[in-house]
Chain A
Amino acid sequence: QKEVEQNSGPLSVPEGAIASLNCTYSDRGSQSFFWYRQYSGKSPELIMSIYSNGDKEDGRFTAQLNKASQYVSLLIRDSQPSDSATYLCAVRPNNNDMRFGAGTRLTVKP
């Protein structure tokens, strides 16, 4: 089992729709969870972090965490073509390094 697994995609949504990205992790003791956005040919950029069960909202982005189910998700409301990118889920199982999923490629069609 991979440490961090994401729905492989690619995911395509029309402009203005909600994009839903999902992630599961294997280390039940993990405490910190992150979503990164990576445009083609660029490096990852941090967009959200979440540490407690429930929802965390930041503009059009909402991160959701369920530690009992070992599940993290990212919702993007009112999706824009500029949101088209690969979204990486990352989990920090301890105070050392961060483990990344393979990413989900999102395309928002005008």
Chain B
Amino acid sequence: DTGVSQDPRHKITKRGQNVTFRCDPISEHNRLYWYRQTLGQGPEFLTYFQNEAQLEKSRLLSDRFSAERPKGSFSTLEIQRTEQGDSAMYLCASSPLGQGYGYTFGSGTRLTVV
């Protein structure tokens, strides 16, 4: 297993464009999480899936953000009509089911909105 993979590593987009990121979790992990991190801050929770079900979505997540995990495997995070404030590192993580497990993070996708 190669760990959690994220694609692309970097994305530069113009304001108003839509972007989509992909995450491939560790295959045995039921849980998949999306976080956003800006400079000098810790990761901020966006949403998570257990298998294919999206179980929680942050109140901070606007309607421009949507995530899917079809068939409980890879996940995509789409941002519509990007704004400069969306510029951040988008981190995907996965874990087995159970409160005692830590997360394994992917390398992240750095989004720059110009």
Which A positions have Cβ atoms within 8 angstroms of B? 4, 31-32, 34, 36, 42-46, 49, 51, 88, 90, 92, 94-103
Q: Is B100 a contact partner of A43 (Cβ separation < 8 A)?
A: no
Query: Is B99 within 8 A of A32, CB to CB?
Result: yes
Q: Are B98 and A44 in contact (CB under 8 A)?
A: no
Is B2's beta carbon under 8 Å from chain A?
Answer: no
B residues with CB within 8 A of A: 33, 35, 40-45, 48, 55-56, 89, 91, 98-100, 102-108
Task: Tell me, rounded to whole Å, the shortest Cβ–Cβ distance linking A63 to chain B.
Answer: 12
Contact present for B55 and A96 (CB under 8 Å): yes
B98: chain A residues within 8 A (beta carbon): 95
Closest beta carbon of chain A to B48's beta carbon, Å:
5
Q: Which residues of A contact B55 (CB under 8 A)?
A: 96
